[in-house]
Amino acid sequence: MSIASLFPTDAFIHRLGGVAPQLQINSPGQAQEFDRLNSESEFRRGVSAPLAGLLGQLSWDVAPWLLPVALALPVVLLGQSFRRQRGAINVLANSVYLDQMKLPAFERCVQVLGDAHPPAGAPFGA
C-alpha cells in the first residue's frame, strides 16, 4: 500500500467549500472568482435537466429525428458545469497552497506524512 492511497483527497475536496468564507477575508478577489465559478456551475447544472426535458418534448413533437441534436445542448451545459466546478475547486486549492487560507485537516495530514518514515528495506512506493 502506498502513501498516496492513504491520502484522503475526496475528504479535502469536500471540505474546501467550507473554507470559502475564510478566503473572503484574506483575498476578496479570489473569493469573487470562486463565487462566480461556483454560481455558474450550479446554474448550468440546475438548468440542464429541465432544458433537456423541454427540448426533448419539443423535438419529439416537431421531428423525432431532432431529438439527439436537441439533447446535445443540455449535455454541453452539464459538461461546462463540471468544468466550472473544477475551476472553483482549483481557486480554493491554490489559495491553500499560497497560504491565503488554512485547512487544518490538510495541515495535519502534511505533518503526519512529513514525520512518516518507510520501514527499512521497503521498496520505493510500497
Q: How confident is the model at residue 8 (pLDDT cuts 50, 70, 90)?
A: low
More confident residue, 68 or 106: 68
pLDDT at 117 > cutoff 80: no
Indicate the Cα dihedral angle 97, 104, 3, 120, nearest 10°.
110
Run of H or E including 73: helix 67-97
40-65 pLDDT, tens per residue? 999 999 999 999 999 999 998 998 89
In sequence order, the 6+-apart residues with CB closer than 8 A to the CB of 13 are: 89
Say if CB 49 and CB 74 are below 8 A apart.
Answer: yes
The torsion angles phi and psi of 2, rounded to 5 degrees, stand at: -95, 160
Q: How confident is the model at residue 97 (pLDDT cuts 50, 70, 90)?
A: confident
pLDDT at 23 > cutoff 60: yes
pLDDT at 10 > cutoff 70: no
Over its C-alpha atoms, the chain yields an Rg (Å, rounded) of 21
Q: How confident is the model at residue 108 (pLDDT cuts 50, 70, 90)?
A: confident
DSSP-derived secondary structure letter, 109: H
In this prediction, residue 1 carries a pLDDT of: 47
Q: Where are the domains of the chain?
A: 3-115
What average pLDDT does range 90-98 have in this prediction?
84
Query: For every residue of 91-106, which 3-state class applies, written as one string?
Result: HHHHHHHCCCCCCHHH
